[in-house]
């Protein structure tokens, strides 16, 4: 049986997840990008935002947006 190896990088600027498949590292894209901003926020309707969506509201709602 093959072993699945996953790596998660929760960086201060960006985060990503990769797997080792057949001795090759495969990075899993999020919305077509290899990394996503390490950012979370709450929009004005109370919806949780992560990644690029959260980063995009950082200027308009800095008190509701956080880098990890």
| pLDDT tens per residue, range 13-23 | 999 999 998 88
SS3 1: coil
pLDDT at position 58 is 94
CA 64 – CA 40 distance, rounded (Å): 8
Which CATH number covers residue 33?
A: 3.30.420.40
Number of domains in the chain: 1
Tokens representing residue 17 in the block: 């997840």
Kindly report whether the global pTM for this prediction surpasses the value 0.95. Answer: no
pLDDT at position 59 is 92
What domain range includes position 63? 5-67
Q: What string of H, E and C letters represents the secondary structure of 15-66?
A: EEEEEEECCEEEECCECCECCEECEEEECCCCCEEECHHHHHCCCCCHHHEE
pLDDT at position 1 is 53
pLDDT tens-place values along the chain, 68 residues long: 578 899 999 999 999 999 998 889 999 999 899 999 999 999 999 999 999 999 999 999 999 999 98
């Amino acid at each position: 049986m093959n072993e699945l190896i996953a790596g998660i990088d929760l960086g201060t600027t960006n985060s990503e997840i990769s797997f080792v498949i057949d001795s090759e590292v495969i990075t899993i894209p999020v919305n077509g990008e290899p990394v996503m901003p390490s950012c979370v926020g709450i929009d004005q309707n109370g919806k949780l935002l992560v990644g690029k969506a959260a980063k995009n509201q950082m200027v308009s709602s800095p008190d509701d947006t956080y880098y990890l």
